[in-house]
Structure 1
Amino acid sequence: MNYPYLTTAFAGVGGTIKDNPEDFIVEEIPAYAPCGHGEHLYLRVEKKGMSTFAMMQRIATALGIREQEIGYAGLKDAQAISRQTISLPPVDKRKIAKLDIENITILDSNYHTNKLRLGHLHGNRFHIAIHEVVEDAEQRALDILNILEHTGVPNFFGSQRYGVLGSNHLVGKAIVGGEFSEAAQLIIGNPEKISNQRWQQAATAYCNGNIDEALATLPGRFRDERRLLHALLKGKDHRQAVLTLPRKLLRLYLSAYQSHLFDRQVQMRLDSIDILWPGDIAYIHNKGACFRVEDSEAEQPRADRLEISPSGMLPGHKVMYANGQTGIIEQALLEKEKLNDKSFNQLPGLKLSGERRPLRVPLKQTNCRQQHNTLHLSFALPTGSFATTVLNEVIKSTTASDKG
């Protein structure tokens, strides 16, 4: 999915990122600091070149605790240096001092009264190096950042939501629509989009109806795809086989479909993303709450200050729908996709209630400086928003990597 630019009138800086983890540093902005007492030990951790789950697994193994006992506020990209907080069950701090795990550094530790939960953070601060930029990159970036600071950053989920083949949302759509044969085909993969030779051979075999060959060829690390193929070989139908996959993965597919529908709403409102319409559901940024806009002119000054923003729907059986022109857009989108209030509420253990999400978010703490042909860029975004959109606006090319 190609995303339009809000700052189309401003030329980008070009260049590339992600040459190494040091090119992309992300720091969590905690929602609160540990109070110094309690049974949960909070660790401020720096990880390099690994996912959040891999980091937690290694710490759990080193301390002899269960990975499920570790709390975290958000997931961070593997190809980066990330500084984030996790919480541990009762652990002697002397054990922490003895930890020696490659590419993991414990920056600080303190006790608190509750386990850290997903979403317990205000946002993330990013420090990014963009290489091979144009000669006047700093001024170009400053102009673009100025627009984004005043207008807000389009709150696209971005392509990182849709998986390596860009098809996670299509899997979710197929599951919601009861098209489980199509879902299975998409999960195994489209051979035309696969570069890994063995995976491509396996996907081709599956397309040709040879499940045995597909299973024999598919690399061992594709555990979920192999699980699906095993289920089919045991005589299960496509619905049964798809539903044998981990609930966490299936929810990811459904969530990706929700995200795709939301991103389409952002695109449709991009030219007026900072303007409230009558009937909008406004999102209050410092509270995370929503309200229905009755008098858009009266509320617009708050939108101009980026205190509130128009929102879009992530469809589900409890979501609040807008009225007026926004409501017409939302209902037209649902009708086009043949969705209703019960569409994300049909499968046991996979019910998504839906929610409102702001169409734009504030951009804060911006800074940039150019050293020769490298641009060093810093900014902060609220939790749940991704750096990808800011990078795409600044770079104006397809080389901006998916980070959040």
Structure 2
Amino acid sequence: MSEQRYLTAHLPGCGGVIKQSPDDFIVTEIPAYEPCGSGEHLYLTIEKRGLTTLEAIRLIARSLSLPEREIGYAGMKDSVGVTRQTISVPRIRPEEVAGLSLKGVQLISALRHTNKLKLGHLKGNRFNLVVRSVNEGALAAASAILKVLVERGVPNRFGYQRYGVQGNSHLIGAAMLRGDWKGAVDLLMGDPQLLRDDQWRSAIQAYQRGDVAEALRLLPRHCDCERSVLQRLVSRPGAWEKAFGAVHPRLRKLYLSAYQSSLFDRVVEERLDRIDRVMEGDLAWKHVNGACFLVEDQEQEQPRAERFEISPSGPMFGTKMMQPQGEPRNMEERILAEEGLTLDSFGAQSGVAMEGQRRALRVPLGNPSCSQEGSSLCLEFFLPKGSYATSVLREITKNF
């Protein structure tokens, strides 16, 4: 990926350290609607610490003897920090969860509703964040940066947290699309230098030496995905595509999605200096409903962008993605060509077909505030669903 720049490069950052403790990163999901009080689904508002959304769901499913697939959720949250979000469970009475006590999960409320909660059924997220050990003048610096972000928008990057623990999920997806199955397996096994676990590191080193059987023997028990891949390689050496076929479809889709995200981030970088301006040929994003339309007259539409009614959109590449025209299309086609791909490359030959969609290149920053307590900066703001607080934090700290 190209080197990232800052929309607020003309302003100094406040420095500091983020996510030093769970309470430094508090996320509150803002629902699209409130439960009506009746129906077969029970909406559980939970507060989780040190768990991803899927890990919390797994714990709750086991506790209530439910299949995980029957539990609904509106947004995916990672394990860092404290998150308050809502999930739905079917055929469970409120009194059955009254005493729910799970490590890392606290029940806040339980109310009935008529339908299962679906991914995307939320307005966005409210963030309460602390940046510690900031530079002198941090409050003034942060306030000036927030002012620019309110006026011009927050670059809608995915950023590093989208690319996995080893930062290479998107590279696995790229290898899948190119049919480079050995490359995909190599990347899946990872870089031993990035691991602290001695046994795990030794397993990867054995794999890199070509000793697949020894790698399988050394691999820690929790590495289920890698284990399944190596087992296939032991029985069929060199059958790289068959081996990678052991990866769960959900993970395969995640890798491809990460690659889509990395290409979108490239478009954000290329258009960063004019991220608040639409161009002729753009597919403009309507913030009120997420619909897109073709910009045929830039002068006519730009006032709507200045009122933050619309924004330029970028590609989450896929076989059915709407394409812009003119200069925006040329840019997107060039990026694909540089990768040696076309939209058809995102079809089923990789194992998971990706239809694609458009995504706003910027998003509005809602009700931001900041204050300082000693050497710590306290931030609060709202972002619409699908956007990341790190996009705001990187502008403010200038540390990553």
TM-score after normalising by structure 2: 0.97
| 1:88 partner SS | strand
Aligned partner of 1:327 in structure 2 is 329
Code of the aligned partner of 1:382: P
The 5 Å alignment of 1:85-234 reads: 85-234=86-235
Cα displacement (A) at 1:102: 3.2
* Superimposed CA distance per residue, residues 104-162 of structure 1 (whole angstroms, 9 cap, x where no aligned partner): 22222211111000111111110001111123211111100010011001111101111
* Superimposed CA distance per residue, residues 309-332 of structure 1 (whole angstroms, 9 cap, x where no aligned partner): 101111111011111111110111
Q: How far apart, in 2, do the equivalents of 1:51 and 1:282 lie? A: 33
- Pick aligned residue for 1:358 from 354, 357, 360: 360
Moved more, 93-102 or 231-240: 93-102
Q: How far apart, in 2, do the equivalents of 1:175 and 1:103 lie? A: 35
Aligned partner of 1:287 in structure 2 is 289
| 1:343 partner SS | helix
Aligned partner of 1:266 in structure 2 is 268
Aligned partner of 1:251 in structure 2 is 253
Cα displacement (A) at 1:264: 0.5
Code of the aligned partner of 1:281: L
| 1:347 partner SS | helix
Q: How far apart, in 1, do the equivalents of 2:329 and 2:59 lie? A: 48
Aligned partner of 1:401 in structure 2 is none
| 2:43 partner SS | strand
Cα displacement (A) at 1:86: 0.5
Q: How far apart, in 2, do the equivalents of 1:49 and 1:21 lie? A: 8
Where does the alignment leave 5 or more consecutive residues of structure 2 unmatched?
A: none
Cα displacement (A) at 1:296: 1.0
Aligned partner of 2:280 in structure 1 is 278
Q: How far apart, in 2, do the equivalents of 1:346 and 1:59 lie? A: 34
TM-score after normalising by structure 1: 0.96
- Pick aligned residue for 1:343 from 327, 342, 345: 345
Code of the aligned partner of 1:295: D
Aligned partner of 2:311 in structure 1 is 309
The answer on whether the counterparts of 2:42 and 2:90 sit within 8 Å (CA) in structure 1 is yes
Code of the aligned partner of 1:22: D
The answer on whether the counterparts of 2:177 and 2:350 sit within 8 Å (CA) in structure 1 is no
Aligned partner of 2:15 in structure 1 is 14
* Superimposed CA distance per residue, residues 25-75 of structure 1 (whole angstroms, 9 cap, x where no aligned partner): 000011111111111111111112222122122222222222221100011
Greater than 6 Å deviation, 4+ residue runs: none
* Superimposed CA distance per residue, residues 338-368 of structure 1 (whole angstroms, 9 cap, x where no aligned partner): 2122211133751100111111111112011
The answer on whether the counterparts of 2:176 and 2:350 sit within 8 Å (CA) in structure 1 is no
- Pick aligned residue for 1:392 from 358, 383, 394: 394
Cα displacement (A) at 1:192: 4.1
- Pick aligned residue for 1:367 from 366, 369, 381: 369
Where does the alignment leave 5 or more consecutive residues of structure 1 unmatched?
A: 399-404
* Superimposed CA distance per residue, residues 264-310 of structure 1 (whole angstroms, 9 cap, x where no aligned partner): 00000001100111000101111011111011110101101111110
Q: How far apart, in 2, do the equivalents of 1:163 and 1:302 lie? A: 37
Moved more, 172-181 or 195-204: 195-204
Moved more, 197-206 or 374-383: 197-206
Q: How far apart, in 2, do the equivalents of 1:55 and 1:187 lie? A: 25
The answer on whether the counterparts of 2:280 and 2:326 sit within 8 Å (CA) in structure 1 is yes
Aligned partner of 1:33 in structure 2 is 34
Cα displacement (A) at 1:165: 1.6
Code of the aligned partner of 2:262: H
The answer on whether the counterparts of 2:225 and 2:246 sit within 8 Å (CA) in structure 1 is no
Q: How far apart, in 2, do the equivalents of 1:332 and 1:172 lie? A: 19
Q: How far apart, in 2, do the equivalents of 1:348 and 1:144 lie? A: 42
Q: How far apart, in 1, do the equivalents of 2:177 and 2:148 lie? A: 38
| 1:12 partner SS | coil
RMSD: 1.4
Aligned residues: 398
The 5 Å alignment of 1:375-386 reads: 375-386=377-388
